[in-house]
């Protein structure tokens, strides 16, 4: 019996998102909604509604801002047809989840073990790394190699910012993750090694996402990722405003964080609003 021929390059470039990835994204949406309901909406109740009690409400609220900003990264792929347009967030998300998993085991005793929030937390960080990596490899074996079909390259300045900023944020966050004492006692609110590592894990994910956007270097393939960069500064500023009495506004670390997420958000807005994006490509 004849065997099916290999996909032609055009077919491989338009490789669809496989149903297992869509199904897992739906699971991730459920995990995200649980976290948003806990630390974005009710950050003062982490003793009962989260995986561990966070003494500083504004710290919990800050983590909540990251959860809210990441929501569209998992919702939008449910409606995206092409694998190439989803790929940008897969490995950065796997790396973020792996760092959160490591954080969990490094601070195991601090967690509210035996509770439903902890069970959800553990599942949401133990399962994603192998699942995302496996699905990435499965799709990539069938997809057109990266770099052979860039339809709309990013502006050189935007790409340079995403590459440099992404790698810098990732590097700094890795150092702080390894040495949380660098921030404990020096933050804009009370920090512990656990909360420092949780925040560093988020920054590693955000930094890698920006670096991956620069590597993809194609508007359609990075468009999904811009959602988080656009939402993060807004979500963070809302949370800081809600709990402004608890924020040490003179902290250099705070302004470094706020300034960086705003800068990344402005670059994402530029990519959306720039006149360089042609009407013909948009309609494709």
**How many domains is the chain partitioned into structurally?**
1
Q: Give me the residues of the chain with pLDDT under 70, please.
A: 1-13, 144-149, 275-284
Q: From the CB of residue 12, how many other CB atoms can be counted at a distance below 10 Å?
A: 17
Q: Is residue 255 part of a domain?
A: yes
DSSP annotation string for 92-130: HHHHHHHHHHHHHHHTGGGS-TTSHHHHHHHHHHHSHHH
Tell me the per-residue pLDDT of 97-146, one tens digit each, with 9 for 90 and over.
Answer: 999 999 999 999 999 999 999 999 999 999 999 999 999 999 999 886 65
Determine the longest span between alpha carbons in the chain, in angstroms: 73
The pLDDT value recorded for residue 5 is 43
User: Cα–chain-centroid distance for residue 40?
Assistant: 16
Q: Is residue 162 part of a domain?
A: yes
Q: Is residue 79 part of a domain?
A: yes
Q: Is residue 219 part of a domain?
A: yes
**How does DSSP classify residue 147?**
T
Q: Is residue 115 part of a domain?
A: yes
Token pair belonging to 212: 């991956």
Give CA torsion, residues 218, 221, 224, 230, to 10 deg: -10
Q: Is residue 197 part of a domain?
A: yes
Mean pLDDT of the chain: 91
Distances (CA, A) of 51 to 43, 94, 117, 213: 12, 20, 5, 31
- Taking a C-beta distance cutoff of 8 angstroms, is the pair 77, 86 a contact? yes
Residue 76's domain comprises: 13-283
Tell me the per-residue pLDDT of 136-174, one tens digit each, with 9 for 90 and over.
Answer: 999 999 886 654 567 789 999 999 999 999 999 999 999
Q: Is residue 2 part of a domain?
A: no
Long-range Cβ contact pairs of 241-245 (< 8 A, separation 24 or more):
242/61, 243/43, 243/57, 243/58, 243/61
Q: Is residue 130 part of a domain?
A: yes
- Taking a C-beta distance cutoff of 8 angstroms, is the pair 43, 178 a contact? no
Q: What angle do CA 271, 152, 94 make, to 5 degrees?
A: 70
Q: What angle do CA 88, 206, 208 make, to 5 degrees?
A: 55
SS3 82: strand
The pLDDT value recorded for residue 13 is 53
């Amino acid at each position: 019996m004849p065997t099916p021929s290999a996909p032609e390059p055009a077919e491989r470039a338009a490789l669809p998102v496989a149903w297992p990835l869509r199904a897992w994204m739906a699971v991730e949406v459920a995990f995200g909604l649980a976290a948003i309901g806990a630390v974005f909406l009710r950050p003062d109740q982490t003793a009962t509604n989260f995986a561990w009690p966070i003494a500083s409400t504004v710290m919990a609220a800050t983590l909540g801002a990251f959860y809210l900003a990441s929501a569209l990264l998992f919702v939008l792929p449910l409606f995206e047809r092409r694998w190439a347009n989803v790929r940008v967030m897969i490995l950065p998300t796997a790396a973020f989840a792996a760092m959160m998993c490591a954080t969990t085991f490094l601070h195991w005793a601090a967690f509210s073990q035996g509770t439903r929030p902890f069970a959800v937390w553990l599942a949401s960080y133990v399962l994603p790394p192998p699942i995302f990596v496996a699905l990435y490899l499965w799709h990539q074996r069938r997809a057109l190699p990266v770099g052979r079909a860039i339809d709309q390259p990013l502006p050189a300045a935007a790409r340079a910012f995403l590459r440099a900023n992404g790698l810098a944020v990732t590097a700094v966050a890795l150092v702080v993750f390894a040495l949380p004492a660098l921030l404990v006692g020096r933050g804009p609110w009370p920090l512990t090694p656990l909360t420092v590592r949780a925040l560093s894990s988020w920054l590693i994910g955000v930094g890698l996402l920006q670096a991956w956007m620069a590597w993809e270097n194609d508007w359609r393939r990075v468009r999904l990722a811009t959602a988080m960069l656009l939402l993060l500064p807004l979500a963070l500023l809302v949370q800081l405003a809600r709990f402004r009495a608890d924020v040490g506004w003179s902290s250099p670390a705070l302004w470094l964080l706020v300034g960086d997420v705003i800068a990344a958000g402005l670059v994402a807005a530029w990519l959306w609003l720039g006149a360089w994006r042609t009407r013909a490509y948009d309609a494709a």
